[in-house]
Structure 1
Amino acid sequence: MVAENNEQDHFSGYEQDFYSLQTNFNKTIDTITTTSTADKRKTIINTAERELSEANDIIGQMERELINAPTPSRVRLQARLRLLKSEGEKMKRDLRRASLSPLINQDREDLLLNMNPESDLDASTIDQRQRLLNGTERLGESSRRLEGSHRLALETENIGVNILSTLKGQRETLLRTRDTLGEADSYIDKSSRTLKVMARRMATNKIIIGIIILVLVALIVLIVWSKLF
């Protein structure tokens, strides 16, 4: 039990470090999307990549800790680790999306600049490019929704694992209670048999005492009768 608690404390410490690093990473991503200078954006992207690498190192350390974790707590710790891995994959996607966002915005600006009466572009081509950009936005939105659903599924799985662990503990308690009741029934049966034996012995003793009394009375009557006659 002490080793299990220590293992969970280690995992909690790793989780706190991970989420703290993720908070800084998200701030860095926001800075990337609002920075217009290419050199500065590159520097910020390098910072985000370094933070992402540190997050992966934390996950790797947690995987190594999980190998030596006690079996009863390993299932819960695996669920928590899967959740962090999911967050790590999301960080990778956010960094990739933030790195590509200036290119997408530039394509959109070029498209808007080319949409003028003197443009040689065919109207259908412009419309196709606009639809392509709209489709890209919809795909990004769908991807974010799927990420949210996946995160919710992992959280639900974690809750389910905790519930199963609680039910397992309650089952073990009920089994121990049943064994205790079985032992109590065994003791009660032994006590009942002992009382029955004692009751039979008391009845036998009463019969013997009654016979002795009758014999004594008969002897007294016989002695008295012999003296009188």
Structure 2
Amino acid sequence: MDQSPTALFVSYESDFKQIVASIREKLDGDAKGEQAEQRKAALRRVEMELDEADEMVSQMEIEIQGIPQSIRASYQSRIRSAKSDLARYKKLSKDLHASTARADLLARSPSAFDDPSIADDPYGERSDRTRLLAGTTILEDGSRRLQDSQRIALETEEQGTDILRSLRVQREQIENSRDTLQRADTSIDRASGTLKKMIRRMYQQRVVTGAIILVLVILIIVILWAKLSH
């Protein structure tokens, strides 16, 4: 496993690029299709993938803090590029949402040719009133769905923030544990060096003691030999 300080950043960036490629494919394909349900389904999937891409950018911003200052500038420019791509696709998705809503509104508006009673009205007041009421209903429905989407987005953002906060805390705990292990390893090395010095001194003292005893024995033998020889 790659333990370099840029490994996780590169991994998140790769995931971001894959998600953006999927978003681009949907926006250029199904999101522009002729069938309304197909467009709506594609846009819903795009919204979910945009949230995932946003989360990847957040992870990249976290990981860049651990990259050395000497190479951080190039990775910061890559984050800016990713944010620019994400903002562009968010705007494109929003525009497609608006055009789909307008198309849905026009598709649901009643036509004077479909209602003979309306066609008989020379001034078209009933037709205008009916279209206005239908349009108001559709706009209210769209506003309600937009509020629901905003609420879900806020809840998702809060959950994502909690997850990022938990990951940050876990990362700090891991770093603190690593620092503690490094300090313990340093202490063990020092203790090992001290024990080696003590053992070496003990052997030196044994040698000195043995030499002193040997000299004393030789002196005793010489003294006894001298007395006995007289």
TM-score when normalising by structure 2 = 0.41
Higher relative contact order (CA 8 A, sep 6+): 1
Q: TM-score, normalised by structure 1?
A: 0.41
